[in-house]
Amino acid sequence: MKKTTIATTVALALGLMGAQAYAAPAIQPVDTKAVTTNMEVKDLGTNFYDKYVKQFVYNEKGDIVGIKLSASLDTTWVHNVGAQESVTINGKKASGQVMVDGNHILVPFRAVTEGLGYKLTWNQAEKSSTAVKGDKMVTAMLNKDEYRQAEDILHLGKAALLKEQTLYVPLQFVSNVLHAGVTIDANGLIEIERQDPQDSFDGMHWVIVVNGEGLGVDKKDVYTTEHNVMVPVEEIGKALGYKVEKNEKTGAYEFSRAAKWIALKEGDTKASVGKMLVELKEAAAVKNGKLYMPVDSLGDVFGVKFGIDPTGVIGISEGTEGKEDPNQTPQDSFGGMHWVLVVNGEGLGEISKEVFTTEHNVMVPIEEIGKALGYKVEKNDKTGAYEFMRGARWIALKEGDKRASVAKMFVELKEAPVVKNGKLFIPLDSMQDVFGAKFGVDPTGVVGISDQK
């Protein structure tokens, strides 16, 4: 087994009230106020007492002029954490006493894992508990700082312990081993949310876009084998303008469009393309009455370009070699893309056409993207800033200002926002820094943006 040491740190992000993010800062602070509301802790490390609460320093006008560090964490807050008799998992309370042991927050192993959908077994000889969900398996060993995940052994700085017949593990076990989101508020309440992975080959929320149009197929209609992503080729063929029929005599699915003819057959690793045989990456398969083929073979068979971005969007596009439209704009240059915006699996439609490029960046219409991400968007007429609000999260962007305010902290943008045709645009490369969203651009011009957990 591989041994992996996890070294994470406490991030105490404090919400602010009443500060003007775009006011000019004074040179010297004349007044200080410690803000202690909306404390959020993610990816807790092993020594949170060694970290300090960030306190913002204001001048007499209320402008933020700096940050200082307090001498210690709030003891009342620490007491509140240890007094919790339950944790909230995916919006539901799960009974289980929370413990503070030295420099560590501990949570009950059974309550957390079962709340996240795992089934438990106990190994008396090894004195370990194993949690299993699908193909995922994690193990905590009593009195040992060893947490197994697949072939890895992770060290979190604190051994699992038994108290009143309950096995406890450090809270970072939840984020670093179970890969769930962890939040602690100012009252010490712990919330845990399952995070469905988007970064593993078989964990994608798939979306298929053909020539800029989403197919609307269920994400379950794409599946993976050991080496390939398998896509429903009948729907893709129809979206490309082919007539699709099954030949009952040969068992082949035939795709015809003008002079082009293609035949695919279940179990056959060769496709007939204009009576020539083309080798597929994997044999075509029928599942739930639909024909599938490897996405990697689409180019060889249909003459299309394709790409998969980090958010799970599969973009498929015909260039000039496809339908041979003499007026079609090429897709192979940075400034010549037919852009398609897809946010959390949903296409934004006509607004995608307003994406434009500068010398170094792709500029995207952030108001529409923000709304698609669930933000309320308003323009502050006093400051001129566009404000985005969702829950406790607050973001402000201003035309011409390379700094965005994110929870009253400044984040540097790759390029200053601009207003064009009455809409605010920011660089796509700044989406993650500002909104915490993943993004990707595939070779067909599909821009995938996702902040789903």
* CATH code, 188: 3.30.457.10
Has residue 329 been placed in a domain?
Answer: no
Task: Identify the pLDDT of residue 262.
Answer: 93
Has residue 124 been placed in a domain?
Answer: yes
Q: Please tell me which residue, 44 or 408, carries the higher pLDDT value.
A: 408
Q: What are the structure tokens assigned to 198, written together?
A: 């988007």
CA–CA separation, 89 and 87 (whole Å): 6
CA–CA separation, 411 and 363 (whole Å): 17
Res. 144 pLDDT band, cuts 50 70 90: very high
- Residue 69: is its pLDDT beyond 70? no
pLDDT tens for 168-226 read 998 888 877 887 877 777 677 888 887 654 434 445 667 888 887 777 766 568 888 87
Task: Report the domain count for the chain.
Answer: 3
* Percent over 70 (pLDDT), the chain: 73
Half-sphere exposure of 183 (CA within 13 A, CB side): 18
Q: Are residues 291 and 338 in the same domain?
A: no
pLDDT tens for 363-381 read 999 999 999 999 999 998 8
> With contact defined as beta carbons under 8 Å apart, do 285 and 221 qualify?
no
Q: Are residues 284 and 361 in the same domain?
A: no
> With contact defined as beta carbons under 8 Å apart, do 349 and 212 qualify?
no
> With contact defined as beta carbons under 8 Å apart, do 29 and 57 qualify?
yes
Q: Which of 136, 160, 195 is the last residue of a domain?
A: 195
Q: What pTM, to 2 d.p., does this model score? A: 0.40
Task: Identify the pLDDT of residue 253.
Answer: 95
Q: Please tell me which residue, 250 or 32, carries the higher pLDDT value.
A: 250
CA distances from 399 to 364, 378, 426 (A): 14, 14, 9
Q: Are residues 51 and 162 in the same domain?
A: yes
Rg, C-alpha atoms of the chain: 27
CA–CA separation, 295 and 21 (whole Å): 47
- Residue 139: is its pLDDT beyond 90? yes
Domain that holds residue 245: 207-302
Phi, psi of 254 (to 5 degrees): -105, 130
- Residue 71: is its pLDDT beyond 80? no
- Residue 132: is its pLDDT beyond 90? yes
Q: Are residues 270 and 389 in the same domain?
A: no
Task: Identify the pLDDT of residue 217.
Answer: 66
Amino acid at 94: A
Task: Identify the pLDDT of residue 328.
Answer: 37
Res. 383 pLDDT band, cuts 50 70 90: confident
Q: Please tell me which residue, 421 or 35, carries the higher pLDDT value.
A: 421
Q: Are residues 220 and 152 in the same domain?
A: no
Q: Please tell me which residue, 136 or 321, carries the higher pLDDT value.
A: 136
The SS3 call for residue 154 is strand
CA–CA separation, 247 and 137 (whole Å): 45
> With contact defined as beta carbons under 8 Å apart, do 283 and 418 qualify?
no
Q: Please tell me which residue, 10 or 284, carries the higher pLDDT value.
A: 284
- Residue 356: is its pLDDT beyond 80? yes
Has residue 309 been placed in a domain?
Answer: no
Task: Identify the pLDDT of residue 77.
Answer: 66
Q: What are the structure tokens assigned to 334, written together?
A: 């940075």
Q: Are residues 356 and 446 in the same domain?
A: yes
- Residue 331: is its pLDDT beyond 60? no
Has residue 321 been placed in a domain?
Answer: no
β 2-5/152-155 pair status: parallel
- Residue 75: is its pLDDT beyond 80? no
Task: Identify the pLDDT of residue 10.
Answer: 26
pLDDT tens for 259-308 read 889 999 999 999 999 878 899 989 999 988 899 999 989 989 998 888 87
Task: Identify the pLDDT of residue 21.
Answer: 31
- Residue 443: is its pLDDT beyond 70? no
> With contact defined as beta carbons under 8 Å apart, do 229 and 314 qualify?
yes
Has residue 320 been placed in a domain?
Answer: no
Has residue 308 been placed in a domain?
Answer: no
Q: Are residues 177 and 252 in the same domain?
A: no
Has residue 244 been placed in a domain?
Answer: yes
Q: Are residues 59 and 166 in the same domain?
A: yes
**Residue 382: partners with Cβ closer than 8 Å, 6 or more residues away:** none
Q: Are residues 186 and 290 in the same domain?
A: no
Has residue 316 been placed in a domain?
Answer: no
Q: Are residues 61 and 108 in the same domain?
A: yes
Task: Identify the pLDDT of residue 423.
Answer: 92
> With contact defined as beta carbons under 8 Å apart, do 20 and 170 qualify?
no
